Each structure stands twice: as structure tokens, then as C-alpha cells.
Structure 1
Amino acid sequence: MISAILFYNEKGEVILLRNFRGDIRKSTSEAFRQKILAKKDTKFPIVQLGRVTFFYIRVEDVYIVACTGGNCNAAVVFESLYKLVEVFKSYFGGLFNEDTIKKHFPLMYELIDEAFDFGYPQNIDPEVLKTYIIQGKPITAQKAQQLSVHATGQSNRPPDLVYKNNEMYIDIIEQVDLLVSSRHTILNAEVNGQINLRVHLSGQPECIFGFNDKLFMDKHNDLSQRAVRRGRGFQLELDDIQFHKCVKLGRFNADRTIAFVPPDGDFTLMRYRISERLVKPPFNVNPVIIEHTNTRFVVQVTISSTFNPQFVATQVVVKIPVPHNTARTTCDVSIGAAKFEPTQHAIMWRITNFPGCSSTQITASVQLLASVVQQAPWPKPPIAMQFMVPMATSSGLEVLFMNITENKLNYQAERFIRYLTRGGNYLIRYPDTVGRNTENPIKATKN
């Protein structure tokens, strides 16, 4: 990440330097001064000199420069620099210039060391830094409690919350990304999910949340057997999990239950990812191209839904690319409506409702402009698909229980659970081979 942060004045003098990795030499900072600051060539905020890249901003009469010898995210670097300036201003009464830097050298180094770890941004929040960098003042009991809260990852919750109706809304939202090759093999399949909560609870309740995680089911045989009796014995393996800071990680590591005291309002409790080996695509798409003449070909796309027939996909949109020199198309569809949209260079097939375990097909005849047939070959962009499947998850994740207690007593609250699967980058490539046929398969036409 960032190798060093330098502070220059208007004369090009280095007034403060923090070298995180030790790979930035004095000659490197001198090169930036001579080639950029001395020539006043500050039009571009990113400059590469030799093997070192410089990212810099200007605040008052100070240039703050982050330099790195590797390839790093420019947006993260600039965001970190601006956040660092906010931290300095919060400590220096809203001022930040050369004089304030010279007056507060020790504090500047301490803040930079807390904000960055070996060049990686860690904690650049002024309010959090003020809880333990207190400029020589003793830590009060209140400050110590705040520090403990931030260190342990617990969330602050107002103590006197009162709601007429205690309610918790749980939304499990999954996005399916898929890439299928021209030979109908899956190149990439991934599910990125998140569990969003809307909490309207009085007091200081503790919530314990459990789902059909494989390790959790192995540790709780009673719940596993109960799920099997209900026909829900599927056990899920998650590759990556990220929790909200309110979750007690020690409890999760011990018995795989998610225990937390929720903040008030809306927040994301958990994010997770599921790799290719466990992903079952909600839709199978099989495209075929049949060429009739040099100026006309037919595209047939068959779509089959693989999810349970009790679910219905909504807002299904299939984008079928066609060449840029397409003059007109005629489409025959069994359900929905298809239309050629010249601005998209594609046939847009929209289906309001697509039941589970069903299949449908579109047959489209594409007429090209003869005058531009000899242009470069058509690159065949992939077919893209968007959809939403309410009350279903592609991964099979299921909430087994959500217990709410306060002072180890039962807590009266309504719980509402909603599932949603939606399409992300759902792409299917055209086949490499093109069939040939002299017959016209289009019997009915719809523009």
C-alpha cells in the first residue's frame, strides 16, 4: 500500500516524513520537489517518477504526498489523505498549516501511526482516535469505557429506547454472478449475500441468530435433526463472512451462533460469499445461432428455471446482443414481450412472471444492412440476464431461529423474514459454431 507520507511546505521543503516501509529514499523526495514543486507543475494529482508513484493534495500552504512503489488503489489513497486532514483539524481547532505541524510534531507522528499500519489505512475516524489519543491527559472512566467499546467491537445503543410495538425485520438478499462459456461450461459462479436488519426494539435486548451453517448444524444435533424432519436438512458452507461490529465474535467462534445487541434502525448484520462449487444457477440459458444468408441469421435462446415451482421470478429481462448493422428483427416468444432496441444494439426480452421448473424460448430473425456486411467480424457480446426471485435464496441459506432476550428473560417482539435472489453479472456467451439452414423458422412475428 502506501510506502511513505511526506509533508512539504510551499518552498518544497520536507517538514514531516513518515516512512512506513523503509523503501523511500531521500533522493526520491528530492526528485518530487525538483520536478513537480519547483516547476509548479501541479496540474495532475498523480505523478510517476521512475518506479515511485506520488499521490498528493494541497491544504493551505502544505502539500501532503503519499508515495508507493507498487500498484495500489488511488481512490483509497486520496480518501485516506483527506480523512487524515480531518483528523488533524479536529485536534488543532480546525487549523492545518505549516505552523501547526511544527508545533505538534509528536502528536502528528502518533496520529499517523494510529491511522496507518505498515502503510495500510486502519482507523482514521477522529472521534475514535480521541478516545485513546488524549494529548497527555489521564484517561477517565468514561473514556476507558468508550475505548473498550471500540476495541471489543460492541455497538452503542441509546439506553432509553421505547417502541409501542417491538419489531425486527430480517432481509436475506443474494446476488448471483455467473459466466458461462461458449461451450456451455461454467467459468465463474458466485453468490454474494447480505443479511439486513431493521430493528425497532425497546430497551437493551440481546439477539441470538442461527442459520443452516454446516459447522453450526454439526454442533447442534437437535436443531439438525429437527430440520431434517421438516425436510430442510441442507447444510451450507460459507467461504467468507464479514460481521457488523456489534456481533460477539468470541461467541461465534465457540458455537457458531451470532449473538449481538443490535443498534437501532437499519444496518447490515452480515455479508457472505459462496464459491462456484456450491452455486446452483437459478436459470439455464442455451443460445443457438442459425445463419441463413450473409445478411440474415436466426437466434434461438432457450431459458429454463431451476428453482422450486412454488417460487416465481419477476422483472426478468434478457438482453440478447445483435450486430450494430442490424436493420430490423422479427421475434417469436411464448411468454413476455421482445423488442429490438437500436440504442442498446440488442433484443430486449422482458418477462413479468417466470415460474420455477419451467422453460421458454425466443426465436428472433435478424436482418442486416447489406452495404456494411464486409465490416469487421461481430465480436458476439454475451447474453445478459436480470431477474428477481422473491422468498428464495440461490445458496439455500435459511434462518433457523432468531431469539430475543433481555436480562435472560423472554422478550415479546414480532419477527419478519424476507428472502430475495437477484441477478448480478449473469452472462452467457454465444456458441462459437454457427449452424446453417435455408428454411425460415419464423412463423409469427412480433416487433
Structure 2
Amino acid sequence: KTLSREERAMLSQFFILSTRGDTIIKRDFRFDLGKQTSEIFFRKVKFWPGDPPPSFNVDGVNYFFTKKFGIYFVATSKTNVAPSAIMDIIYRMMKIFRDYCGVLNEESIRKNFVLIYEIIDEVIDYGHAQLVTTENIRQFIVNEPVLIQPKTQAKKQSSSWRPKFFKSSTVASTAIQKPIQKLDAKKTKTNEIFVDIFEKLTILFNANGMVINAAIDGVIQMKSYLIGNPELRLVLNNDLTVGRTSTGERGSVTLDDCNFHECVDTRDFEAMKTVTINPPDGEFLVMNYRINGEYSAPFRLYPFIDEESGYRLKFTVKVRAQFPQ
């Protein structure tokens, strides 16, 4: 049987809910579901025993969701679609929202609801994903974002205490939380690009505090505000190697695995440890990498268990930093 366009349609609805169950944004693409889907979803998730799965079915309706920044991003469908495909669309839409609003939370979505609806209409057409990157939809977006000002209390806290090693020229950590703009060379005084390196450490200790297994999952993330998106070059360590080899020199940086964004040209990576980047609009991950094996852990854990009675145990975990003095 050949499926019609209507039967092949992926999404029926997309909506954003607060943790209280309030509907902040809701767009119905095909009008094949009732108006109570958001209430049914929230009631189901609220009273789910334990943590609800990212996708489930209620009365023939498939629900797909993720909870980030204190809000629910939900998509529904009546057809039997791949959950991974729907979740990918949801995460791509979240990234676009963040690129345009600067920061993604309930306040920014409420104040930029007109812009959010405009983005949704450009990304999804009758349930089908069309343009799912910031760069592709930028020429079609005409509404300007409403900037979210930092809280007064946060300003007082940041100005009342400041470490000595932060100089007056240090850029605030919230500088990256501004929306992308249609850069005009006449109006824009400075070009900016933000590069962040995030690493997640997973370490397994034994009872004596010694490391049994350790791994590092890292990303190099960029957000560009450069006029005209010029070509960039990123130079990495000369002693960087990918893959475990017996000839690896002591002290060299060895990655077990890595991958790059589609905008990265890796032709000079093997020979010169240099990559060329044509940065797209908005935030993107330049590189993902993983390191397994022995490395100096930044801290150690020492667990202690005391049996106070026949039915009561006391657990004490001590953390000792390994940073040099």
C-alpha cells in the first residue's frame, strides 16, 4: 500500500508547557487531534510512576517530549513515526529558539511568543520538517527578539564579590546569552566569537579511593557573531593523536575517538592538526571527543559505612581535591 502525504505526515502538534501545566506555545499543524492533548500529556507525565519515558502512547496518540530549562517541549503524532527522528526535530527547534532568544526559559518564550510562532511556521510545514537550522531560516525571520534583562539581585551578587584573577576586561559569562542579530557592518562596532570547552568526567572509584575506570567526554562549542561569517582556522595540539597506538609518546594528548561538525574541513587535521571552519549562524559544536584510560583525576572519593544498628546504616563520603596548592 502506498501511503498518502497525509498518512506520511510526521507531526500533528507542537507545544511548550510550563512545569505548572500552563500552555505557553501551541501549534496545530494538521488539526487531526483534539484540543485536550496538552492537558492529557501533562496529567500523564505528572502522575507517571517514576521518571516518564521520552515517548509514550495514550489512546492512539504518540507523545514525544523533553524537559529542559524548567519547561516541556512536546510533539504529538497519530502515525507510527521513528521516535529518534521526532526527538531530533525537537532538539533542533530548541537550538533555533535559543539562538534567536539568547536564553531559553519560560520568561524569554513568553516575551518572544510572536517570534517563536514565526520560527515554528518556518521549520514545520503541515507536519513535515522543512528548515531545521538557524542559518537556513534566518532570511525568512522578520521579528526582532525581546531581550531578557538580568535580575537586579544577580547584578548585586556579581558586583559584590569578584575573584582577583578576573580582570576588568574579562567578558561576563552571560555575554553569550544574547540573540543573533542581522549584523550590519555600519552599526556593529566589534566582531565577537565565543569558544567554550566542556568536559564531562566519569570516574569509578574502589573502596580505597583508587580509580578503577575513567573516561572524559568533551566538546568544543562555538557561537559566532562575526560579520559575514568569515572562514576560521582552529589549531590544536601538535602532539594530538586519535586512536590508541603503541608508539604514542609520553605526555601526548591521545583521543580514543572524535568527530566534527559538517561545517569543519579536516583535510589538514592529520598533517598539521589544523581544521578550517565556515561557521554557521548561531551556536554549534565544532568537535566531540572521548578519552578512555588513565589520567590524573581532579578529586578522589573515600566512602565510609557504619552500621549503627540492625536496621540503620550511616554512609559518609569524603571528597579530597587533587589540585596543586
- TM-score interval, smaller chain: 0.3 to 0.5
Higher strand residue share: 1
Structure with more relative contact order (C-alpha pairs < 8 Å, separation 6 or more): 1
TM-score (norm 2): 0.41
Structure ID, larger Rg: 1
TM-score of the aligned structures, taking structure 1 as reference length: 0.30
